Amino acid sequence: MSWLSELLQRPAVTWWDLLDIAIVSIVVYELLKLIRGTRAVQMAIGTAVVVGLFYMSLGLQLETLNWLIRNIVGYVVFAAIVLMQADIRRALVHLGRAPIFRRFEGTTSDDETIEELVVATSALAAKRTGAIIVVERRIGLRNFIESGIPLDARLTYDLLVAIFQPTSPLHDGAVIVQGDRVAAAACFLPLTVNPRLSRDLGSRHRAALGVTEENDSLAIVVSEETGGISLVLDGAIERNIDTERLRARLASLVTLRRPAARVREFA
């Protein structure tokens, strides 16, 4: 019973121990979120199997298996870094965009991003080029991003206008914006099932309503028929707004450092 006595005689748990456990739990949780739905899941399973075999070889004194694992594990680590470099880069970018780090960023990028969105929307509306741009806020849009073509490019006027040109293979679908980056283009969005909508609303407006009904994102829609600009938020639509109104609404709703609060009603 000596092991039971040693267990009962362990030192008391302090606040520092609880803090240590909490930090490790958060790190493990965030890592699991990052690898969910990616190739890293299979890599993690394979790593767990190798670790299990290593300790089994120690316990059962399987010298050959133990020697093999000890000699190849270094090469496996380097191979994993080379093969998973894209996922590692994505994970580091995701970590750098965490709210705790965004507090140290400047506010100038907010204004620049909003201006790029407004100028691109105005140019598309002037040419009556249909477009739908969805801006991520607090709730992630990963499932919609994965349905399109990943870009992860800096948001600029030229990029948005080029995407929605009728001759572009990416024009048919939505662009999803994360912070100051265009995450993906040609994304599929759910259509709203609200039966009380006006019949003159096209598929772009219905898709914008559908995606904002499911989360707190906002959508900008340019009508191909009229060239009118609409802003959609929380399943509510504000139609035929001008450039200054769009700029003011985006300035009050979109920030790169901290998510804006949800707004149910349009002013």
Q: Are residues 8 and 60 in the same domain?
A: yes
Predicted confidence at residue 174, as pLDDT, reads: 92
Predicted confidence at residue 266, as pLDDT, reads: 37
Residue 237 belongs to a domain: yes
Q: Are residues 85 and 115 in the same domain?
A: no
Q: Are residues 139 and 238 in the same domain?
A: yes
Q: Are residues 33 and 113 in the same domain?
A: no
Of the residues 96, 116, 146, the one at which a domain ends: 96
Residue 267 belongs to a domain: no
Residue 222 belongs to a domain: yes
Q: CA 206, 259, 145, 48: dihedral to nearest 10 degrees? A: -140
Predicted confidence at residue 47, as pLDDT, reads: 78
Predicted confidence at residue 142, as pLDDT, reads: 85
Dist CA 220 CA 177 (whole Å): 11
Residue 260 belongs to a domain: no
Q: Are residues 7 and 123 in the same domain?
A: no
Q: Are residues 21 and 72 in the same domain?
A: yes
Q: Are residues 25 and 109 in the same domain?
A: no
Q: Are residues 146 and 92 in the same domain?
A: no
pLDDT tens track, the chain, 267 positions: 666 666 566 667 788 888 888 888 888 887 777 666 666 667 777 778 888 888 888 888 888 888 887 888 777 777 777 766 666 666 666 666 555 555 544 444 578 888 999 999 999 999 999 999 999 988 888 888 988 999 989 999 999 999 999 888 888 889 999 888 899 999 998 888 777 777 778 888 889 988 988 888 899 999 988 889 999 988 888 988 998 999 988 888 876 444 333 333 333
Predicted confidence at residue 165, as pLDDT, reads: 92
- Which residue is associated with the tokens 């030229």? 158
Q: Are residues 135 and 235 in the same domain?
A: yes
Of the residues 96, 117, 146, the one at which a domain ends: 96
Residue 190 belongs to a domain: yes
Predicted confidence at residue 92, as pLDDT, reads: 65
Q: Report whether 175 contacts 185 (CB < 8 A).
A: yes
Of the residues 96, 125, 142, the one at which a domain ends: 96
Q: How many CB atoms lie within 10 A of CB 141?
A: 24
Strands of 229-233's sheet in order across: 149-154, 181-187, 174-178, 131-135, 218-222, 229-233, 236-238
The tally of domains found in the chain comes to 2
Q: Are residues 145 and 22 in the same domain?
A: no
DSSP per residue, 44-91: HHHHHHHHHHHHHHHHTT-HHHHHHHHHHHHHHHHHHHHHTHHHHHHH
Domain containing 119 equals 105-253
| Residue in 263, 260, 261, 259 with CA at minimum distance from that of residue 236 | 263
Which CATH number do you get for residue 227? 3.40.1700.10
